[in-house]
Amino acid sequence: MRCSYIRLLVNDYEACFRFYSDVLKFPVLRGDEHSRYAEFDVDSTTRLALNQREVMAEALETDTADPELPHQDRMAVVFEVDDVDATAARLVSDGARQVMAPRDWTAWGTRAAHFRDPDGYLLEISSPLL
């Protein structure tokens, strides 16, 4: 596994986009102020991404106000893997708590599966769709 993204799941997407693009001056690789998803070049092989919080909650069919996870989905750490299905099966076998089984996310251009660590942080394993 290779950490490919740190994805911040934000409430005020437009303000956060302007902060990272205009204040921190990170070059925009994908998205814009209104796209609800953007990627920034942070001079690393790992990228910083912003995602409107509700978009991820809708995709994963979760409730952002879940009382058992008060900080649910404020960020996601994304790992690129060669084989999402095999890696997901191994993680489940090793005791990882799966949120969403592997599936193609054509709008994102990836095949991905989602998990939570013991503190409830969202982890994604993914590989590009061919």
Instruction: Give ∠ CA 7-117-112 in degrees, rounded to 5.
Output: 55
Burial profile 34-62: b = 16 or more Cβ within 10 angstroms, e = fewer: eebbbbbeeeeeebbbbbbbeebbebbeb
**8 Å CB contact between 21 and 13:** no
The whole-number pLDDT of residue 49 equals 92
* Beta bridge mates, 49: 7, 39
Q: Which CATH number fits domain 2-128: 3.30.70.100, 3.10.180.10, 2.60.40.420, 3.40.50.300?
A: 3.10.180.10
Across 35-42, average pLDDT? 93
- The token pair at 85 is 């299905």
Question: Domain residues of the chain, as ranges?
Answer: 2-128
> Which of 85 and 42 is assigned the larger pLDDT?
85
Task: Indicate the helix (H) or strand (E) that contains 101.
Answer: strand 97-105
Strand-pairing partners, residue 48, are: 6, 40
| Banded pLDDT at 66 (limits 50, 70, 90) | low
**In whole numbers, what is the pLDDT of the chain averaged over residues?**
87
Query: For residue 71, with 0-12 CB atoms within 10 Å meaning exposed, 13-18 middle and 19 or more buried, which class applies?
Result: exposed
5-33 tens-digit pLDDT: 899 988 889 999 998 999 888 999 999 99
